[in-house]
């Protein structure tokens, strides 16, 4: 059974609290928060004050995706704000700082994760697999919701599932970007067990049905 992590990037900013309550009421256990700094990606979104506010109103698993340059500068703040999973991009800093950031996240009692952009090969994250509780494969270029799902990322998902089975079998494997009911089975068949959906979740007319189908 898969886990849906709805991305609040597609939520109604004026009704964020209600939308998060809705995520819970519609049967989800997780919520995905996209943090963008305008440098690592050409867009801005939420900061740690938003993560803290969300933590204050929900017991959903807070899956925080940092799309920021040199995340080591901010991981302490996001851990203190109440993230449950905190994922950082392998492209965002040196290998040494990435390792240190993952260790720092773990020291806070938060689950660390590593993310790869579409053009980054699976090999780039091999040194970090044993340090992580989640690996995230981007299925769009990070920065914006509503983009087209890149099915050609599935070989990378399969490759990472195989690698994880050898070195860290309990590690989650998440996909993010353009996921909907037409491609979720492909993601699951490829070895992903956590699926992010922003636009597709928020556009779904029958959200409990969407959650059920996607998590099947």
The catalytic residue positions are 34, 176
Q: Which residue has the tokens 């009911």?
A: 181
Distance CA 72, CA 208 (A): 37
Partner that binds at residue 177, options ligand DX5, Zn ion, none, CB closer than 5 to 8 Å by kind: ligand DX5
172 bridge partner residues: 134
Partner that binds at residue 140, options ligand DX5, Zn ion, none, CB closer than 5 to 8 Å by kind: ligand DX5
Distance CA 99, CA 127 (A): 9
Q: Which is nearer to ligand DX5, 45 or 98 (CB)?
A: 45
- Alpha carbon separation from 31 to 35, 84, 134, 144, 190 (Å, rounded): 13, 10, 15, 17, 22
CB 96, min distance to ligand DX5, A: 25
Q: Which is nearer to Zn ion, 65 or 188 (CB)?
A: 65
Q: Which of residues 49-108 bind Zn ion (CB under 5 A)?
A: 65
- Alpha carbon separation from 44 to 37, 68, 74, 79, 142 (Å, rounded): 5, 10, 15, 20, 12
User: Residue 117: which of 187, 65, 72 has the closest Cα?
Assistant: 65
Q: Which is nearer to Zn ion, 87 or 98 (CB)?
A: 87
Q: How are beta strands 61-67 and 30-36 bridged, if at all?
A: parallel
Taking CB atoms, the residue at the shortest distance from Zn ion is 65
CB 119, min distance to ligand DX5, A: 14
Residues within the interface to ligand DX5 (CB under 6 A):
7, 9-10, 32, 34, 65, 140, 142-147, 176-179, 196-200
Q: Which is nearer to ligand DX5, 14 or 169 (CB)?
A: 14
CB 166, min distance to Zn ion, A: 26
Half-sphere exposure of 210 (CA within 13 A, CB side): 26
Partner that binds at residue 178, options Zn ion, ligand DX5, none, CB closer than 5 to 8 Å by kind: ligand DX5
Partner that binds at residue 112, options Zn ion, ligand DX5, none, CB closer than 5 to 8 Å by kind: none
Residues forming contacts to Zn ion in the complex (CB under 5 A) are 34, 65, 176
């Amino acid at each position: 059974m898969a886990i849906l992590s709805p991305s609040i990037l597609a939520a109604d900013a004026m009704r964020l609290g209600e939308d998060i309550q809705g995520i819970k009421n519609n049967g989800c256990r997780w919520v995905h928060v996209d943090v963008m700094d305008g440098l690592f990606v050409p867009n801005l979104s939420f900061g740690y004050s938003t993560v803290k506010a969300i933590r204050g109103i929900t017991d959903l698993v807070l899956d925080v995706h940092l799309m920021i340059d040199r995340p080591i500068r901010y991981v302490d703040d996001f851990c203190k704000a109440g993230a449950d999973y905190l994922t950082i991009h392998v492209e965002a800093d040196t290998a040494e700082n990435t390792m240190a950031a993952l260790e720092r996240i773990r020291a806070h009692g938060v689950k660390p994760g590593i993310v790869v952009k579409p053009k980054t090969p699976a090999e780039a994250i091999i040194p970090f697999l044993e340090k992580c509780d989640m690996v995230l494969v981007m299925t769009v270029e990070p920065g914006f919701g509503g983009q087209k799902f890149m099915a050609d990322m599935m070989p990378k998902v399969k490759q990472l599932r195989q690698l994880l089975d050898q070195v860290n079998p309990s590690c989650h494997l998440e996909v993010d970007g353009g996921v909907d009911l037409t491609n979720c089975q492909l993601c699951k068949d490829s070895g992903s067990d956590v699926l992010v959906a922003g636009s597709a979740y928020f556009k779904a007319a029958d959200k409990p049905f969407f959650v059920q189908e996607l998590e099947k």
